[in-house]
């Protein structure tokens, strides 16, 4: 009778070990899934911080060249194409837009094969004139393709329809106001440069 109890105990212990292994395996799969989601969140975060740098760059350029701010308005999105533009010989707003276009393409970082790899996925930049009268107001937008679908941005039409699913389009937007540079001393009305 004692030997029969021992064999039954050993069988129960083996089942407990198998159940523990199954529970541990499910837990490890959960941790692996969490790690994958964390990497996606890290990529999204990197793209967002890169967009902020690009957005601030062009906002600073517009503010530094405020007398010619209207020359920064783009007819369509910048950052299209596969090759960086040659900015040699350009000056003022044209140089700034050319360099911003190259930054949107990720031209500052290239692979061994010469492919631009430093940018966000499908990055585009738009500058539109919201108010032509004083104070002038511009909307600057940087858009790119995100990795996972979320809510589609509605504050800008820049890049709309370029990424297939609108829920993968991401956008960072800044408004730039250019005040009056000088007033007419006799009337006090702003003089447009």
CB-side neighbour CA atoms (13 Å) of 169: 22
Alpha carbon distance 104, 76 (integer Å): 14
Contacts by 106-109, CB closer than 8 A, 24 or more apart:
none
Structure confidence at residue 66 (pLDDT): 87
Exposed e or buried b for every residue in 129-163, given b needs 16+ CB within 10 A?
Answer: eeeeebebbbbbbbbbbbeeeeeebeebebbbeeb
From the number of C-beta atoms within 10 Å of its C-beta (0-12, 13-18, 19+), residue 49 rates as: exposed
Structure confidence at residue 4 (pLDDT): 55
Residues of the chain with pLDDT under 50: none
Q: Which of 17, 26, 122, 137 is nearest to 78 (CA)?
A: 122
Structure confidence at residue 182 (pLDDT): 72
Structure confidence at residue 131 (pLDDT): 78
Q: Which of 159, 174, 137 is nearest to 59 (CA)?
A: 174
Please give the backbone phi and psi of residue 75, each rounded to the nearest 5 degrees, phi first. Answer: -75, -35
Alpha carbon distance 172, 130 (integer Å): 17
* Contact by Cβ (8 Å): 72, 101: no
Structure confidence at residue 58 (pLDDT): 96
């Amino acid at each position: 009778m004692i030997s029969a109890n021992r064999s039954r105990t050993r069988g129960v212990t083996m089942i407990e070990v198998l159940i523990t292994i199954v529970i541990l395996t499910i837990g490890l799969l959960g941790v692996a899934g969490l790690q994958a989601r964390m990497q996606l969140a890290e990529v999204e975060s990197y793209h967002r911080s890169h967009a902020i740098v690009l957005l601030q760059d062009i906002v600073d350029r517009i503010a530094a060249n405020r007398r010619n701010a209207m020359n920064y308005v783009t007819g369509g999105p910048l950052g299209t194409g596969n090759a960086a533009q040659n900015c040699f010989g350009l000056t003022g707003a044209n140089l700034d837009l050319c360099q911003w276009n190259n930054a949107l393409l990720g031209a500052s970082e290239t692979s061994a094969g010469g492919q631009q790899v430093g940018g966000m996925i499908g990055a585009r930049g738009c500058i539109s004139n919201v108010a032509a009268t004083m104070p002038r107001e511009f909307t600057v937008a940087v858009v790119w393709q995100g990795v996972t679908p979320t809510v589609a941005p509605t504050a800008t039409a820049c890049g709309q329809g370029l990424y297939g699913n609108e829920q993968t389009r991401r956008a960072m937007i800044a408004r730039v106001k250019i005040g009056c540079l000088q007033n007419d001393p006799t009337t006090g009305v702003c003089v447009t440069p």
